Amino acid sequence: MDDRDSPIRYYSGYNRKPPRRGGFFSYFVVALIAAVIGGVITAYIAPNYLYGNIIPVPDIYKAQQNISVPQNVNITPDYDITPVSAVVKKGMDSVVGITTVEVVRDFFWAREVEGIGSGIIINSNGYILTNSHVIGDGQAKKITVLFENGDKQSGNVLWYDPSLDLAILKVNATGLPEATLGDSDNLEVGQLAVAIGNPLGLDFQRTVTSGIISGLHRTIKVDSSTVIEDLIQTDASINPGNSGGPLLNEKGEVIGINTAKIQTAEGLGFSLPINLAKPILEEVIKEGDYQTVYMGITGVEVERYENQLGIDLNVDSGLIILEVSSNSPGSKAGLKNGDVLIKIDNQTVENMNQLRKLLYKYKKNDKATLTIIRDGKEIKKEIKFTKLK
């Protein structure tokens, strides 16, 4: 059969090649030239010479003529620091560490016990606010204040009150970075709260913890004779060594002085409202000391009195008066031994510590109404605070 009649053609010989055809590059060049020509016609010739003259203007071209081209938008990254970082940046340098040496007597011998806490600079001339228990309620033999820059200064106690758990120290220094005090009367649950202090020793000094204000006007019982009221509750972690350090709001202002935590639970820390300390700070800085009004009485809470004597006074709570000093505001008001003081104005009274705290609200020559129980009857007496102590 002739090869020309076969549907399949065979090629023999190693040097023989199929017939040559146009290469890929030639096709690419032709396509490129066509694309350029088409683009010129579409972009320039058609809009300026053909549309509206030879051929009608396409609707899509009409719509495009009404589209405004947006201007270039410049975006500048803004890497703001977090609220907690901003608070720390503002308040950190006013936080100090406080180390103490206290002499503790055990039967026939004495030993020195070291303690550590925190404090806050509230005046550039060396005034520092802390807890009373940080300085051993005034019994510390030696007090050393450690500043952020590494300096150390001996601290002297100007004023303290265990019932408030507040103390004011003075160091011989000027130009210190003082903290900004906030307003603890305007706090709301849920606000940011940042605590700074020295938990568990100087190895962790100036530790920052954050959380929120979890509650207001809390009352805790520290021991059998000490009840602290009107506290700020926070879930910012507070540990031993944080005591005396500041609780700060979102503005970096001091709103409280960290004082205690519930040991059996997490996230239950407490701070003393800064507004409680403000009038005391002002007086101490101005006069070098602070004196409060006093009633001239001593007493004990009803429950303890009943338990010790095994009697029932038929009174749920209150302070039973054991002694009234002569010529004191209390004696002039007509108070007697055996009276049970249950209120001063509208504030309930349960023990001497609580009474001392309530008296900070009064000034010399202020008057108050006392509610007492005498011989099973409730009566009222007016007292005028004529003396300071």
In sign, the C-alpha dihedral spanning 140, 143, 148, 150 is negative
What's the pLDDT at 47?
54
Same domain, 95 and 165: yes
On whether both 270 and 362 belong to a single domain, the answer is no
Residue 68: inside a domain: no
First to last CA, the chain: 138
DSSP for residue 13 = S
Task: Count up the domains in the chain and report the number.
Answer: 4
For the stretch 251-298, pLDDT in tens is 999 999 999 877 766 778 999 999 999 999 999 999 988 989 999 999
| Residue 216 maps to a domain | yes
Q: What is the pLDDT of residue 70?
A: 46
Residue 11: per-residue pLDDT: 29
Spatial neighbors of 115 by CB under 8 A, at least 6 apart, are 99, 100, 101, 102, 134, 136, 140
Residue finishing a domain among 287, 310, 342? 287
Same domain? For 104 and 163 the reply is yes
Q: Are residues 319 and 234 in the same domain?
A: no
pLDDT: which is higher, 350 or 177:
177
266 and 208, same domain (yes or no): yes
Are 283 and 302 part of one and the same domain? no
pLDDT digits (tens, 9 = 90+) for 37-50: 665 555 555 555 55
- Alpha helical stretches, state H, 107-257: none
**Boundary residue ending a domain (287, 307, 338):** 287
What are the phi and psi torsion angles at 169 (to 5°)?
Answer: -110, 160
With contact defined as beta carbons under 8 Å apart, do 89 and 102 qualify?
A: no
What CA dihedral angle connects 202, 249, 277 and 245, to 10 degrees?
0
Find the catalytic residue in 184, 243, 271, 328: 243
| Average pLDDT of every residue of the chain | 82
- In this predicted structure, what is the pLDDT of residue 278? 94
Residue 176 falls within a domain, yes or no? Answer: no
More confident residue, 237 or 25: 237
Q: Evaluate the CA torsion angle 47, 49, 52, 56 in order and state its sign.
A: negative
Looking only at the bridges linking them, the beta strands covering 95-106 and 377-384 are unpaired
Domain span including residue 136? 85-170
CATH of the domain at 144: 2.40.10.10
Question: Tokens in use for 342?
Answer: 């249950």
**Rama region for 13: left / alpha / beta (φ>0; ψ in -120 to 50; rest):** left
243 is catalytic: yes
Residues 200 and 163 reside in one and the same domain: no
165 labelled catalytic: yes
Q: What pLDDT does residue 277 have?
A: 94
CB 291 within 8 A of CB 280: no
Asked if residue 158 is part of any domain, the answer here is: yes
Residue 274's contacts (CB-CB under 8 Å, 6 or more residues apart) are: 181, 182, 184, 254, 255, 256, 257
The pLDDT assigned to 2 comes to 41
80 lies in a domain?
no
Half-sphere exposure of 320 (CA within 13 A, CB side): 21
With a cut of 90, say whether residue 93 has pLDDT above it.
yes
Q: Residue 137 domain-assigned?
A: yes
329-350: pLDDT as tens digits: 999 999 999 999 999 999 999 8
Biggest CA-to-CA distance, the chain: 150
Name the catalytic one among 165, 210, 214, 328.
165
In a domain, 247, yes or no: yes
Residues 149 and 231 in one domain: no
pLDDT grade for 146, boundaries at 50, 70 and 90: very high
Answer yes or no: do 113 and 156 share one domain.
yes
Residues 38 and 113 in one domain: no
Residue 6 belongs to some domain of the structure: no
Band (pLDDT 50/70/90 cuts) for residue 137 is very high
pLDDT tops 50 at residue 1: no
The answer to whether the beta carbons of residues 99 and 116 sit under 8 Å apart is yes
What value does the mean pLDDT take over residues 220-241? Answer: 81
Is 217 one of the annotated active-site residues of the chain?
no
Please state, in angstroms and rounded to a whole number, the distance separating the CA atoms of residues 38 and 25: 20
CA distance 165 to 279: 15
Of 236, 261, 287, the one marking the end of a domain is 287
One of 133, 214, 271, 328 is an active-site residue; which one? 133
354 — pLDDT class (breaks 50, 70, 90)? confident
Give the DSSP H/E element, type plus range, for residue 194.
Answer: strand 192-197
Mean pLDDT, rounded, for 122-136? 96
- The H or E element spanning position 279 is helix 274-287
In whole angstroms, give the CA distance from residue 291 to residue 357. Answer: 13
Write out the H or E segment, with its range, that includes residue 102. strand 95-106
Mean pLDDT lowest for which of 59-73, 178-192, 306-320? 59-73
Report residue 158's pLDDT band, with 50, 70 and 90 as the boundaries: very high
The stretch 91-120 carries a mean pLDDT of 89
